[in-house]
Structure 1
Amino acid sequence: MPARQRIEYFDVLRAIAIIAVVVLHTAASRWYTLPPSSTSWQALNIYDSMVRFCVPIFFMISGALFLQPERNITVRSLMRKSIPRLLLAFVLWSGFYAAWHGFGPNGHGSIRNTLAQFVLGYYHLWFIYAMIGLYLITPLLRKIVEVRAIAWYFVALAGVFASIAPMLVPVPVVAEALDKAQLHLVLGYSMFFVLGHLLNTATLSRKALMWCLLSGLAGIIVTAVGTAWLSMLQGKNTVFFYQYLTPNVIAAAVAVFCAAKYWGEKHTLSFGWRRFIGPISAYSFGIYMVHPFFQEFLAGRGISSQLAHPVFSVPITTLAILIPSFIVAFVVRRIPKIGAYIA
């Protein structure tokens, strides 16, 4: 089989998504503690709402790659290669964070709590669990996407039962009906996997792109306005509209993906941009793994979203976290045999 051609717009998406992840976590660090009536909270809410697409984008890129018909992906290759690599990354990074919080300078010193955190993983390592789940069902999804109409039907089902219906759970009769139906075959994040394949192989017209962008902008506005309204209504900060599977966040993710694809079909990165985007994309996994360490390390030294008004402090802090995270990812990547799998 000939070597696969590198898809440049995936590099653009990875770079945008990893920067967005750091922005999200920087904004979220104070979002939970400030009152929703404050201007600082509103600024953090806007930043957070703008970058919620980040994790769905990573799922969509993986789906676009793993569901390519020409790739020879089997249960055997997943069990012997892809999943063990994720498990290795989880074990090493979860061990690092568990040891740091257990026995570091501000550690709790409890072996029991350290072991529990190791198994569960630090807050951002949920992504590894989700990816392992998606890898496990990849052989099934590859069969689904063989027929494009069936693949869109799958996305439609997931949209209804994994995105829209859960938003109606507060209505008792809806919650009871969903419980009776037990529609667990439609797995939420698998929708992004399949969507990534469908959008990557679609031909986007300019009109279709405009509709995607408008719906994405509307999604961001709904996320920000809805979160502010609901938080002030309930008198506490609520993440109802922040969930990755809400229609508003899905719309934003689809818009970002489609915009990058449409651009990628008509342009290529200049040499200067390629030298900037390429490394960030290449080390995005390592940056994702290590950035919470630097976020907490810098916060302990006064460099956080509290540095100034969030309008200014969020981008400054994001940059301060990204630079050392990139350097560490660069170094870790060069560890013999395992570096490529953990950074």
Structure 2
Amino acid sequence: MASQSSITESQGRREKYAEWLRIIAAFTVVFQHTVTSAWYDTPVSSPDFFVLNFLNSLSRFGVGVFIMISGAFMLSPKYAHPPKKVLTYNLPKIIILIVTWGLAYGFLNVICQSGDWVDYLSAPITLFTKPATHLWFLYTLAGLYMITPALRVFTQNASPRMVLYVIALFFTFGLVLPTANHLLFKLADVSIYKNIGIQGSTTFAGFYLSGFYIAHYGLGPKVRKILYSLAAISWFVSFFYATYFSIARDAPNEYFFGNFRPMTFLIAAAIFCYFRTKYGNTTTDDAKLIDMSKCMLGVYLVHPMFIKAFYGLHLSILIPHPIVTAPLMAVVFFGLSLFVVRMFRKIPGMRKIL
């Protein structure tokens, strides 16, 4: 879902690490939505919930990786993104997707609910009131594109330490402090004074800048080992507390799986760093890999339709057992989405919305 500027201008090749990361992140999102389609309604006391909670804990880094990829290319001095291009090319592309898919899902919901003509006429209003749940990412990306010209001024003039300083502020006040406050309140009924936090620090721009930093400056071997270790610990912490509070409340609790949790950030950063390090500056002209990568935005946009159709047939990922059915159906939903997107992208003009 990153900018098309990931194409190396002089050779028409694409950076290999980003191609693989897009595919992995897209599948992870499909996997997450497949699991959570049953996770919210499964009794916490059942063995099925424990399995779904475990699977859920493995699938929360996808969005963070997508935004890091975007930041890596949109903020990189290697690729030209003057304000005019960002505001007249990149941003309008996202707005077209928001309008197209916001309307598509708005009308689809009316059809599924057997609405009358008034419902059809009011469907466009959902763009501003209640768009399809997964479309929030497009709105976020539009916001990041709007501040990209200002962020590029910063990244082009700031030292690596200064960029890292801003990321550290985001991590400390946007991720760690709110999470610590949540834990203190739940475990000791104590809250941190709200004005200790820096207002506005909780923003996806932190992921955006992190992607740029890792891609542009890289991390040394020792720092990478620390990051990978913290990511592994983070997964355990998020899984443990999500399970603990779900049982305590007798209701699914996804607080520790949220995008703005330090655990989610560390896992996304570790995966992004691993692939960036593994492939370095290697570029590829592998047509199959590039074609598949280009379909990932479309896969993200259409896959909820297949999940909705699955439940429309009164099927369940709990049968015969979620440890098998959930991953299997995630692969099926991903494969169907990829097939449909590939077919539609062959139609003239359809690539603008897929």
TM-score by length of structure 2 reads: 0.87
Distance verdict in 2 for CA 1:11–1:152, change over 3 Å: same
Partner of 2:264: 249
Matched, 1:26 2:11: no
Deviation at 1:140, TM superposition (A): 1.8
Matched, 1:237 2:239: no
Q: Which runs of 5+ in 1 are unaligned?
A: none
Partner of 1:262: 277
Matched, 1:228 2:234: no
Partner of 1:183: 199
Distance in 2, Cα, partners of 1:327 & 1:36: 35
| Count of aligned pairs | 335
Deviation at 1:312, TM superposition (A): 0.4
Deviation at 1:303, TM superposition (A): 4.4
Counterpart AA for 1:84: P
Distance verdict in 2 for CA 1:80–1:203, change over 3 Å: closer
Distance verdict in 2 for CA 1:90–1:38, change over 3 Å: same
Distance verdict in 2 for CA 1:313–1:302, change over 3 Å: farther
Partner of 1:118: 127
Counterpart AA for 2:141: M
Partner of 1:130: 140
Distance verdict in 2 for CA 1:117–1:175, change over 3 Å: farther
Distance verdict in 2 for CA 1:300–1:211, change over 3 Å: same
Partner of 1:327: 339
Is 2:16–2:282's contact at 8 Å kept on the other side of the alignment?
no
Counterparts of residues 1-343 of structure 1 (less than 5 Å): 2=10, 5-102=13-110, 104-109=111-116, 110-111=119-120, 114-119=123-128, 120-146=130-156, 147=158, 148-170=160-182, 171=185, 174=192, 176-177=194-195, 183-184=199-200, 186-265=201-280, 277-337=289-349, 339-343=350-354
Offset from partner CA, 1:178-224 (integer Å, 9 cap, x none): 5xx6622x351001110001111234444433322221111111111
Counterpart AA for 1:183: Q
Moved more, 28-37 or 258-267: 258-267
Distance verdict in 2 for CA 1:81–1:203, change over 3 Å: closer
Moved more, 193-202 or 297-306: 297-306
What secondary structure sits across from 1:336 in the alignment?
Answer: coil
Deviation at 1:242, TM superposition (A): 1.0
Q: Which runs of 5+ in 2 are unaligned?
A: 1-8
Distance in 1, Cα, partners of 2:283 & 2:161: 31
Moved more, 275-284 or 48-57: 275-284
Identity %: 25
What secondary structure sits across from 1:167 in the alignment?
Answer: helix
Distance verdict in 2 for CA 1:208–1:182, change over 3 Å: closer
What secondary structure sits across from 2:280 in the alignment?
Answer: helix
What secondary structure sits across from 2:192 in the alignment?
Answer: helix
Deviation at 1:154, TM superposition (A): 0.9
Counterpart AA for 1:126: W
* Root mean square deviation, CA, Å: 2.4
Is 2:144–2:205's contact at 8 Å kept on the other side of the alignment?
yes
TM-score by length of structure 1 reads: 0.90
Is 1:168–1:175's contact at 8 Å kept on the other side of the alignment?
no
